[in-house]
Copies of this chain bind each other. A is one copy, B any other.
Amino acid sequence: MTISQAIRKTVDAVRLTVADLHAELPRNGLVVWTAGNISARVPDSELLVIKPSGVSYDDLTADQMVVTDLHGSVVEGSNVPSSDTAAHAYVYRHMADVGGVVHTHSTYACAWSALGIPVPCVLTMMADEFGGAIPNGPYAPIGDDSIGRGIVETLRSSRSTAVLMQNHGPFTIGRSAMAAVKSAVMCEAVCRAVYLIRQMGEPIPMAQTEIDALYDRYQHAYGQR
């Protein structure tokens, strides 16, 4: 597969967006060293742009990003793509509305993932962003479609844009890469807050009708038009 002239500019723009968004991961304390990765779907194509494997966050320019097809085969770029590329690609193949995927090993989300219990929705900011609990995905070995399948199967039946893959960590999705990054940031924030709540005692539960009202308002009335 080659990149046609028709989408050359789009690919370059997505390369830049994905490179720049990576700065949000260390800035928000979601990653150490070279862990974590962000990808974006290239609109009107069968392509995605993703971080190279094991490269320092200090060196993530647009040039370093890798373009692959939606099965994770490299189409452009001299770097090896992220070792999580197959999982990202699986998500794009099976969820047409997803424009961005983020994976981190953020600490509190990892902790919940190793317990294998969902993060209960007991804060309005969690209702706003996730519309309920953050669910757990299965344990999935690396190297085949297991991780991607686990993400898709879990998130298809949830309003949440974040899933905690067992003993592994969070994957988040969004209509855009920026939205997926936001979900990753909010996921760690609520995993941390609900950890603290759990250490202190029993939280006051939130009614499902309240959660629904908050989620609906936030998805439709928050932010600029």
Contacts and interface: CB of A to CB of B under 8 A. Distances in A.
Contacts of A60: none
Interface stretch (A9-17, A91-99, A153-161, A214-222): A214-222
B224 A114 contact: no
A100 to B, nearest CB: 15
Contacts of A73: none
* Chain multiplicity (copies): 4
A30 to B, nearest CB: 10
A123 interface: yes
A35 interface: yes
A110 B125 contact: yes
Interface of A: 28, 32-35, 52-55, 79-80, 83, 105, 107-108, 110-116, 122-125, 139, 141-143, 166-169, 182, 185-186, 189, 192-204, 206, 210, 213-214, 217, 221-225
